[in-house]
Amino acid sequence: MEAVDVNINKCKEVSHIFKELTNRIPIDSFTDERFYPPKGTDTELVTRYFMFMVAIDHRTSRYRPFEAIVDGQLYHGADLLYKLGMKKFTRDPEFFSPERMAKITPAEVASWLSVKGIDGEVITVWDYEARAKLLNDLGSKILDGYGGSCYRVILLSGNYLKRDGRGFIDRLKAFKAYSDPVEKKAYLLVKFLNRRGILTFTDVDNAEVPVDNHVSRIALRLGLIELSDNYFNKILMREPFTEYEDIMIRSKIRDAFKVISYFAGVSPLILDDLLWMFGRDCCTRGRPACIAPSNSGCVKLGMWRDGCPFSNQCILLSKGVLIDEHLFEDTYYY
């Protein structure tokens, strides 16, 4: 067996559960004005917002929780990131212009993405220097290669995700923020823009799940991929993985969910809505709802009627081994 391989039979076995759960949830249109530009906003402005925000949408809570009460409501992680993005967009939509992004400094990113935490101390997103570089690279290349228009990247893709290096995903690879070989941010951007009616594509077979920590954790707990003993022990011991190992694992996880998508008859981009909610609110790191059944977020999702829907498939429950996602933190890929 390879160090990592897809467990096809397990993917088929759980596909009907994923189909049932996906049918229970609403399809997000990404128009919630707390996080995203409102309906009717100019197409170029919306495209800019999503392209630059997704570029810096990777882990936010490495050294301390990135959470705060903003406008009377508690926000955490990516929700807080997009909340701060929309506060900036509402005050100044041109903030997200390629011209501004090409020149934004680490200090400006730190100021923008700083907020008073729930303990009263000011918290700043942990790698604002790296995020500034990602924005600089993206802004500069949009100016040089696309005449300063983010929407032009979509127009020139010709309604394809991948096609002879000219599809939308192909074009995104030129930008450092979207250079992940497993294309997590790229497919997240596709999902956002497609739901907003800005991006359409005819090669639907090229759609994929954007694989992040939540998606990886679910896959590992369900045994959707088979790991060598060495890799499995590294996960249990919380030993860091290399970039090569991370890419290998996430690539196989993406393949596994493509199999599930096929047998469930659900688009990978729709399936990702479920995976995001289930991973963030139910199958959480450290204390999933099966261990802490009072997990209110999971109960609100309506996925916990009679215990975990995957109770008969989960390695965590069947073997009593708490498996979290593999440890790989020094990255801007996801």
277: number of CA atoms within 13 Å, CB side?
A: 21
Q: Are 98 and 137 in contact (CB under 8 A)?
A: no
Each residue's pLDDT, cut to its tens digit, for the chain (334 residues) gives 567 999 999 999 999 999 999 998 999 999 999 999 999 999 999 999 999 999 999 999 888 899 999 999 999 999 999 999 999 999 999 999 999 999 999 999 999 999 998 888 999 999 999 999 999 999 999 999 999 999 999 999 999 999 999 999 999 999 999 999 999 999 999 999 999 999 999 999 999 999 999 999 999 999 999 999 999 999 999 999 999 999 999 999 999 999 999 999 999 999 999 999 999 988 999 888 887 766 566 776 666 666 788 988 898 777 778 899 999 999 999 9
Assigned token pair, 85: 């993005």
- Of 247, 179, 241, nearest to 211 by C-alpha is 247
Name the phi and psi angles at 325, rounded to 5. -65, 160
* Distance separating alpha carbons of residues 245 and 225, to the nearest angstrom: 14
- Span 110-155, pLDDT tens digits: 999 999 988 889 999 999 999 999 999 999 999 999 999 999 999 9
Rg (C-alpha) for the chain, rounded Å, is 20
Q: Map residue 71 onto helix, strand or coil.
A: coil
Nearest CA to 56 out of 77, 34, 29 is that of 77
Long-range contacts for 127-133 (Cβ within 8 Å, ≥24 apart)?
127/62, 127/332, 130/332, 131/55, 131/56, 131/332, 132/104, 132/105, 132/106, 132/108, 133/176
Q: Which of 116, 115, 110, 121 is nearest to 56 (CA)?
A: 110
> How many Cα atoms within 13 Å fall on the side-chain side of residue 182?
25
Q: What is the pTM of this model?
A: 0.95
Do residues 6 and 58 make contact, with C-beta atoms less than 8 angstroms apart? no
Contacts 24+ apart (CB under 8 A), 86-91: 86/33, 86/34, 86/35, 86/36, 86/37, 88/112, 89/37, 89/49
Burial zone of 197 (CB within 10 Å; 0-12 exposed, 13-18 middle, 19+ buried): exposed
Strand partners, 296: none
The residue assigned the tokens 């220097």 is 129
What tokens appear for 172 in the block? 């995104």
Q: How many CB atoms lie within 10 A of CB 230?
A: 10
- With a pLDDT cut of 90, the percent of the chain lying above it is 84
pLDDT tens readout for residues 12-65: 999 999 999 999 899 999 999 999 999 999 999 999 999 999 999 999 988 889
Q: Going from the N-terminus, what domains does the chain have, and what CATH number goes with each?
A: 4-27+208-319 (1.10.1670), 43-155 (1.10.340)
Return the number of other C-beta atoms located less than 10 Å from residue 229's C-beta.
8
Strands (E) located in the chain? 4-6, 67-70, 73-76, 114-116, 122-124, 225-227
